[in-house]
Amino acid sequence: MPQIRFILNELPDPDFEEIAIIQRLRSFYSDLQEKRQRPDKLSEDEKADHEAFWLQQRIEVPVALDIRIRRWATKIRRNHLKKLTPTRLSAEDRLSLQGCQKGADLISLASTHHADEIAAALHMDFPWLSEATTHVWHRLRHNAARGHLGARKLAQTV
């Protein structure tokens, strides 16, 4: 099914949430400490025993380093958000937009009556946009009569 993308800006990447960043940095620290404490010359059996031991004994992050990790995560998150345009949106609004990030499916309208129903719902939900929803309504009726998908832009004549 054809799609139309209507959010042209990127939305925040979930991998750049503070909690995810903190977890990655703590995991990196633990892995690094584990590698530092692993002797270089071990037999295969000793390596397996050593890794099994370290899987059980996960290294705790010192409090001072944990504070620094949290500060880094905050800075990384802030810098990530600065690169994106819709930063003024609340976290709740950004979350609601993430479902629309890839776009919407274009469907063919069954009839002009179907276009009227869609326009009526738009007018009811967005009364302050009556001029825009009226334009959408006319385009939907026009394209439904011709069997086109969705609303298409009129060709500009100069």
Q: What is the pLDDT of residue 43?
A: 74
Nearest C-alpha neighbor of 97 from the set 20, 14, 4, 7: 7
User: 87 pLDDT exceeds 60?
Assistant: no
Q: What is the pLDDT of residue 35?
A: 76
Give the number of other Cβ atoms within 10 Å of residue 123's Cβ: 15
Rounded mean pLDDT, 66-80: 92
User: 57 pLDDT exceeds 50?
Assistant: yes
Q: What is the pLDDT of residue 117?
A: 87
Show Cβ contacts of residue 101 under 8 Å, excluding neighbours closer than 6 positions.
7, 11
Show Cβ contacts of residue 138 under 8 Å, excluding neighbours closer than 6 positions.
none
